[in-house]
Amino acid sequence: MINRFIFFLFKKQLIIYENHRNVAPILNDYNKLKYIFISVNPLWKVLTILGNGKLRSSAVLLVLKVVNPVAILSMNWISNRQHVYFLFAKQKKREFIVVQHGSYVGGIIKDEAHKFAKCTTMLCWSKFFTDTFTRLNPDTSTKFINYGNPVYNVYNRATFTYNEAPIKNILCLPTYMKEEYVIKRFKKLYDKLLSLGFSVVVGEHSFQKRLNPLGDVNVSNTRSLELLKKNEFDLVISDHSSALLDAIFFKNKVLYFNAQLENAENKYSEYLLNINTLKIEEITQDILLNTINIKDKESLFVELSGGYTKNNIITFL
């Protein structure tokens, strides 16, 4: 087995990983002292010559068995690719480790496929999520670990401070908006903010750009995480996306706006007023300012993304 040969030469174990922003922080220098990390993405790309069906998946499974990594790191268990990783882990008694990739729908796991774990270990963002997945999977042997958000674990949050400047510049970070009524409602808010004299920038979701661009709005092409880290905006408006938690982590003032009726009620709405419930045409600067409550936002953050791990050190293998 290739992994055994690598260990003989380098005294390190091999971990295969899928590219994702929540996986990347775990591939750090400290962990590289014990593990060699290799991306599986090129393998899938090369094997497109076999098509996109069972033959390709079988070929990847065969390669994984030959390589026999100690673990596979990914960000979910719902795709056909990830089913291959879980099958490999079960057959070879290895680890398929899933890193929580987002806050789902404002902290609520609605999709049936997301509820039921198909991995050996899941690294969760907080006790709230470890408890949630444990409750949803009472008969599984999957380990649910309160690991913290790997992206946040990289930073010392104490070095960030809330911007106390008057609100002039607003960043909107909506999730993918499919329904036309949701887009119209969002644009109505956008236009209202402009009419109140604010400068407004929209961080367009990648699916939005590809499938249904918003068109006549001021869109930033900078990744949302980079925008939030700079703390250059006086206010961030987001919906049930994990972007809202990102904004709070980097101590940006936030407001919750969710026009997707089926997703509006969630953990976010337990702490924050959904300004979609207001009459947008009657919103004033004072109403927006009075809706900002940093204490409630911090309480939400602690519940959904509350702990840190020792700088993403691998202790779960």
In order along its 317 residues, the chain shows pLDDT tens digits of 788 888 888 899 999 999 999 999 999 999 999 999 999 999 999 999 999 999 999 999 999 999 999 999 999 999 999 999 999 999 999 999 999 999 999 999 999 999 999 999 999 999 999 999 999 999 999 999 999 999 999 999 999 999 888 999 999 999 999 999 999 999 999 999 999 999 999 999 888 788 888 888 999 989 999 999 988 899 999 999 999 999 999 999 999 999 998 999 999 999 999 999 999 999 999 999 899 999 999 999 999 997 666 679 999 89
Tell me, yes or no, whether 54 lies in a domain.
Answer: yes
Structural domain for 81, as ranges: 2-154
Q: Do 179 and 74 belong to one domain?
A: no
* pLDDT at res. 150: 96
Tell me which residue of 108, 77, 115, 116 sits closest to 95, measured CA to CA: 77
Q: Do 224 and 146 belong to one domain?
A: no
Query: Contact 109/132 with Cβ under 8 angstroms?
Result: yes
**What CATH number has the domain bearing residue 224?**
3.40.50.2000
* Residue whose entry in the numeric block shows the structure tokens 């806050």: 103
* pLDDT at res. 206: 83
Of 154, 174, 199, the residue that ends a domain is 154
Tokens representing 56 are 């390709």
Single pTM value for the model: 0.94
* Total domains present in the chain: 2
Q: Do 12 and 123 belong to one domain?
A: yes
Q: Do 124 and 174 belong to one domain?
A: no
Tell me, yes or no, whether 309 lies in a domain.
Answer: no
* pLDDT at res. 307: 65
The C-alpha angle with vertex 312 and arms to 310 and 317, in degrees rounded to 5, equals: 100
* pLDDT at res. 310: 64
Tell me which residue of 289, 294, 317, 309 sits closest to 25, measured CA to CA: 309
- Report the distance separating Cα 130 and Cα 143, nearest Å: 9
Please, which residues have CB within 8 angstroms of residue 283's CB and are 6 or more apart in sequence? 189, 192, 196, 275
Q: Do 61 and 164 belong to one domain?
A: no
